[in-house]
A and B are shown apart, each in its own frame.
Chain A
Amino acid sequence: MKHTIIAAAIAVLLVGCSEEFQPNGPYVQRLSVYSVLTVADSTQFVTVESSVAPAAHSVTEPVLRGVPGAAVRLSSGTDTLLFRDTILASDAGIARHYISTSSAVASNTTYTLTVEAPGYPSASATVRTFTVGSVYASNVKLLADADQEEDLTVQVLPGRGSFANLLRVVFEYEWLKNGVWTPATAELPVGYDGERAVYPVFGFNTTSTFTVVFRPAVYRKTVRDLRARYADSLRFIAAVFELRQFDQHLFTYYSVANKFPGGSTIRLDDPDYTNVLNGFGVVGVASRTTYRTAMKSLP
């Protein structure tokens, strides 16, 4: 009996000693797919990158490993859009994207994006587009001088089927930079919390018309601040009323990846979200509607 116990104890010890620490589980190389389908737009982008093995790279050194030669298709019923492997140059540098310019994405339609590349499991995501909304400012009397005395009231009709919407008013202006009039923008806040500007926030699942009101005091302060900053080297061009809408997948992804902005979370972990089957990233839907009007000075 005693020998049995000793043998069992030694066996337990040996088993314990022979274990190895495996911080990483089995790794399967997957595709990371990002695409935001813009309703009514005929140009669509898809970014396809590869995952890497955990701990193969430091998290402080980003690895944007674009995957060349992938087959990227956007299907709806019998219709299929094919995306071309393209290198795009921008201010941020050179990046690989898959682009389609052949047909506009329709509203209220279900699309499936499929990405296939050698060495990777096929990745796919299904989204449903929504109706593009409308925006209108009924009592527009936008002044480039700080004498606005009426509320600026904006009516918004979100499109059916969208999840989140955001209404903004943006001043387009130019300022004299080294003798050249240079375009710039400034967003009109809805109010101030002390000196901190408070900007419009997202609305959710809204299907009926709603109104956003910008008070004249806020309007005047914004104009005055710009005047104080640029003095005579400033000229207002226009005000743009912009409605942006997003589907649930894109907004959820944004919410999770940014630690739930707009609310008070106390989580200390770092969760993830994807609607890409067998992959990472997100495929979402967005739209942008604008109403633009010129800004005038007092007579």
Chain B
Amino acid sequence: MIIRLLIVLTTAVSLAAAQRSDLRGTVADSANGEKLPFATVSIAELKRGTVTTASGFYLLAGLPYGTYTVTVSALGYQTRTATVRIAGTEPVSKNFVLSSRPIEVSGVDVVGQRSTELSGATVSAHRLGQKDLMQVPVTGQADLFRSIQVLPGVVAGSDVSSKFFVRGGAGDQNLIIYDGLKIYNPFHAFGIFSIFDPDIIKSTEVYTGGFPAGFGGRLSSVINVQSDDGNAARFAGKAGVNLISGKLQLEGPLPGENSWIVNVRRSLLDNGLDRFLTEPPPIEFHDIFAKVRFGGGDYGKYSANFFTARDRISARSAADASHDWNAVAGSLRISDLLQDRAYFESVISYSKFGIDRTASLSGVITPASSTITDMSIRSDFTIFSESQDLYLFGFEVSGLGSEFSYAVGPTRSIAQKLTAAEFWSWFRYQTTLGPVALDAGLHTDMLGLLNGLTFSTVFQPRLSGVLTLTDVWKLKASAGSYTQRLLTLTNEDDITSLYEAWYILPKSEEPEKAVHLIAGVEGRPAPDVTISLQVYRKTYARLSLYNRDKRLSTEPDFVRGTGLAQGVEVMVRWTLSDLDLYSAYTYGRTTVTVGPYSYPPRYDRRHTLNAMATLRILSGLDLTAKWEFGTGYAYTQSSAMYFRRTFDDLGRSPLLNDEGSMYISLGEKNAARLPAFHRLDLTLTYRYAAGPVRGDAGLNLINVYDRKNILYYDRKTAQTVHMLPLMPSAFITAEF
């Protein structure tokens, strides 16, 4: 039915295309044949342009007959132009290959691509290439989420955690998609870095708010990661070692311009980080990524993905518990040109994440486990039109399962097994009206419709617009409604929690809901300077929060609350020939309200500043400095300790006994603030080439002035654990 509709629509559009024809093709990396997503393809004479899809495909529909200069550019690649003649009734096919720029000082924000049909109206969107990920100084090695944390509106969990919070949203409000797979915990143990090796990441889209109708199920942000397909031109490899891990990546061609890639990474912490850190317990981890690209014709791509990651934290003492995380995921992805002007992409995916915690010998920490599984089918369709308008629609069906158990005392444990289904559909329409680019869409919760949920829950409108004021300045605005049915269970009174369980709200219950309002201005007041300013207001119309007045087991654990997150973000980037300066400042304020209680969530941070400078000292030698500053997170102070009797087995045991334990009474919820976080990191990187082998070698100096930032405070043992101290590290990679 959908196919028929597509054919009818596109045929009707084609009939109107007298003396016009389409230009279509792909954009690929010249070195390895890898298709490039988000490359810009434009024709200056016609003021037309578009952006390649995730499969590297582009289409400019209904171009008047003539000869034009087509310009193709992509982040990290040399711009290329070609002359193309549009004539005849058949679409003109033109594929482009781009050469990588060997040395580049690039920032992390590439918002502001001009004259693009696919993304011209997006707001609060950032795109990161692989080189951007390598740019940000980190502990030991580059990391996707570390790079994301320098973006405006993104607040880091800690410097030994790559968990993050976006515009006052909780950590579980971020939708993380990896090659179409939904990833539920993309962090390695203790969160030191994510489970994605930057070398397998081709590109990343980050929406810090106002994300379009194609995404749903989360309230705050979307991280959409595309991985490398592998080298279709030749056998190649890359190896690397740093303070934390070692890795090996191999890739090569398969018959018919197909390719494969395998990436294996393993921790080396026994000989690395542990030398500098005595507080964190021993950590082991590995991750394996494999992908095969096969078939797909001239414009399409078929690929199969497999991914697994595992982590273990071993108990160091009787007071510690052991943790075991594991993630397994796989997908089959198909994209192709369905009809002359209709492109589709479908993904069938399976994703599972689990955590097991053993009891500590002292009994203070109790055993717990949690698993979440997700099986999904998603299809996206894009219809290109002669008027430059784009019609995008699709659907996603997911089956979710969650199991968790944990002890609530020496003899009692909680166990739940939950299942749920999600069925979403969406429609987007992108158009340009003079200086205004609009992206309007509707995300629909189809099961919510069947289950009789409210109109405003089922139908979630999204609207983004960009007004080009001058060649220099643009105004941007976005509004949208979002819902979320999955949330993580955690102890809100812990300052850091290693155990979280995914909980699915019952289908008859209205999900959590947020409304985003975003406005901003962006411009290039000078050729080398980019400035962006945005204000946001995220209204949480419904949140599921702990029932702080729960007294009996018959009363609900969660009750409905509301929230409000608002803030201002400023980003300035100044690029000189040998120096790149980047800074992002965020002022944020978040409050949640449940019943008579109103308080900031524990991840509320008032001021965040990230400043980064990259200096090209010599050819091939860069020095990068990054300074992070953030005012303290909210937390709840302990107010007293007393022996709390528990009247165990009330009704069966004597009332006068001494059953109980010491209890820590808490003060006003999240009324106190941790000290400010700040840290300076330096990285010196040298790019070398020795015959067929080339790579990077470098030194990191983490926390240059040895700031004692607080990671964790254990109320029960009165132990304060600090984040990373002054720590030198080194890395080297080699590739052929």
Contacts and interface: CB of A to CB of B under 8 A. Distances in A.
Contacts of A47: 645, 656
Interface in A1-32: 12-13, 15-17, 19-30, 32
A55 B715 contact: yes
B508 interface: no
Among A29, A32, A168, find the residue whose CB has the most chain B CB atoms closer than 10 A. Answer: A32
A168 B651 contact: yes
A1 to B, nearest CB: 15
Given A63-B643, A263-B553, A36 B655 contact: yes
A271 B550 contact: yes
Contact of A23 (B412, B638, B660): B638
Contacts of A246: 650-651
A89 to B, nearest CB: 13
| Chain B interface helix/strand/loop/mixed | loop
Nearest to B656: A45
B638 A202 contact: no
Interface string B409-448: 1001010100000000000000000000000000000000
A146 to B, nearest CB: 24
A53 B718 CA distance: 12
B101 interface: no
Interface stretch (B165-173, B336-344, B672-680): B672-680
A166 B649 CA distance: 11
A23 B409 contact: no
B647 A254 contact: yes
A61 B607 CA distance: 40
Among B493, B557, B640, find the residue whose CB has the most chain A CB atoms closer than 10 A. Answer: B640
Given A25-B639, A261-B553, A269-B493, A62 B660 contact: yes
Interface string A240-276: 0000101000111111111111111111111111000
Contacts of A272: 644, 663, 665-666
Contact of A54 (B416, B557, B640, B647): B640
B637 A24 contact: yes
Contacts of A298: none
Interface string B533-567: 00000000000001010111110010000000000
Contacts of B665: 51, 54, 272, 280
A286 interface: yes
B638 A260 contact: no
How many A residues touch the partner, as a band?
35 or more
Given A266-B414, A267-B557, A273 B675 contact: no
A95 interface: yes
Interface stretch (B81-89, B139-147, B484-492): B484-492
How many B residues touch the partner, as a band?
35 or more
A217 B648 CA distance: 29
B496 interface: no
Contacts of A175: none
Contact of A25 (B637, B658, B663): B637
Among A16, A28, A250, A280, find the residue whose CB has the most chain B CB atoms closer than 10 A. Answer: A16
B638 A244 contact: no
B409 A267 contact: no
A104 interface: no
A98 to B, nearest CB: 12
Contacts of B647: 250, 253-254, 257-258
Contacts of A265: 408, 414, 553, 557
Given A24-B637, A280-B665, A259 B408 contact: yes
Given A13-B678, A60-B363, 19 more contacts: A16-B678, A17-B707, A21-B674, A21-B675, A25-B637, A25-B672, A45-B656, A50-B642, A51-B665, A62-B661, A95-B658, A187-B652, A252-B551, A258-B409, A259-B408, A266-B489, A266-B503, A269-B492, A280-B665
Question: Which 6 pairs show the lowest CB-CB distances between chains A and B?
Answer: A263-B553, A16-B676, A55-B718, A25-B637, A54-B638, A260-B553
